[in-house]
Structure 1
Amino acid sequence: MIPALLGRRRPAFALRSERLLLRPPQIEDFEPWALLRRESEAFLAPWEPARTPDHLSLKAFRERVRWAARCIADGRATPLFLLRQSDGALLGAATLDNIRRGPAMCASLGYWIGAPHARQGYMTEAVGALRDHAFGPLGLSRIEAACLPENAASRAVLERCGFKYEGVAQSYLQIAGRWRTHVLYAALRADRRGRVGEAGEGAAFG
């Protein structure tokens, strides 16, 4: 059973949705994070890059925590863990990465949810909270996201949160050791485009 995490240490930065607390990873999260990643390995492997052998080590997690703190302090990224407010259970993670200022005012979105918590609306809440933070306090104009064409659950999350299909990127990322084509989505702070999926109807994926 994943232990309760809320109340251990007050995070310097946090977002909330109806059921979730989104805050940076802390070293105390290591055991529930490693457990959730192990439990979800088969569920996540088809959608993620291959992991290094020490991915689940305490040493690697310490570096993850330090990296998250540096990124938030520098304004380069917003890496957040998703915790259920009712019991503090760790559910997954979401990150606004590669934040670009100046003419772009843009960021990239990535996320994962543990297998026991999938298809319960948690990621839609998390992405919605990050979108509102990006277009509000961060002052960004555009958020980009990419996923495999067959990842219907991820595409549904993006579309529910106002992201719209923009095209296809060939050999975009290495997933499970192979270069894979991805579909591209974006959300705009001031969006005057048509319906979700309008541009993507009839698209073919190699």
Structure 2
Amino acid sequence: MLSLRAVFRGKRVALRAPRVSDAPRIVEIRSWSIEFLRPWVPVPGPDELDVPLARARILRDRRDIRADRHYRFCMTLGEDGPVIGRVALTQVFRGIFQRAALGYWVDVEHHGQGFTTEGVKLALDVAFRELGLHRIQAAIMPQNAASLSVARKCGLQHEGRAARYLQIAGAWQDHLLFAVTAEDWPAAPP
């Protein structure tokens, strides 16, 4: 089981479990990045734009980590810096699957600087080395060049296309499916 106190450090960013004290910052960056993220992510729920509801969501996120269901990490600048985005390993299935879905976003101020790629690589390392998962999957809209670039830089392989896969910006959108397995992850132990 992953400790809620664990911090996974990269060169410029770190991943950690969300804290209730992160709620104002998360609401702030989701609010100022709303137009930037609108074409790529589901319409934000009230728990992403309201501080008290965000606090309740964070408490659910922490319970999900303890229950090995979802790992919605905060991505921070350095170990003690501000939250700049989220990287999530959700829909964890154990048993014969040992898989999770990968999702990520960064605020508009930190877009295009390589932070998301570093955060996703950290999350994949956690998935394979700490959580013992076998397969991580991501679904990305074909026109989302930045997210496609992150997936490819992180070693995810294109596996196909899913028609009308997720509702984004009020419409069912096709997504490209990407995945990486423990055997293909460069940082996985032999």
Percent identical among aligned pairs is 38
- What residue number does 2:168 align with? 175
* CA 1:168–1:19: 2 relative to 1, 3 Å: same
**Alignment: residue pair count:** 182
- Deviations, residues 54-88 of structure 1 (Å, cap 9, x unaligned): 64112221221111111110111111111101761
Aligned to 2:183, the other structure's residue is in SS state coil
1: CA distance, partners of 2:134 / 2:46: 38
Residue correspondence of structure 1 range 154-193 to structure 2 within 5 A? 154-191=147-184
State the SS of the aligned residue for 2:130.
coil
Instruction: Name the TM-score, length of structure 2 as normaliser.
Output: 0.91
RMSD: 1.6
Three-state SS of the structure 2 residue aligned to 1:12 is coil
Separation in structure 1 between the aligned mates of residue 150 and residue 117 of structure 2, nearest angstrom = 5
Map 1:3-14 onto structure 2 (within 5 A): 12-14=5-7
Deviations 1:147-205 (A, max 9, x none): 1000011011010010000000011000011001100000111139xxxxxxxxxxxxx
CA–CA separation in structure 2 for the residues paired with 1:187 and 1:47: 21
Counterpart residue identity of residue 25, structure 1: P
In structure 1, the residue corresponding to 2:44 is in which secondary structure?
A: coil
The one of 139, 145, 149 equivalent to 1:152 is 145
Moved over 2 A (4+): 51-55
**Per-residue CA distance 1:13-59 (angstroms, 9 max, x = gap):** 22111111211111211222222111111100010112235641122
The reply to whether residue 43 of structure 1 matches residue 36 of structure 2 is yes
Larger radius of gyration: 1
* Alignment partner, residue 112 of structure 1: 105
Higher helix share: 2
- Give the corresponding residue for 1:75: 68
Please state whether the residue corresponding to 2:39 is helix, strand or coil.
helix
Change in 2 beyond 3 A, CA 1:54/1:18: closer
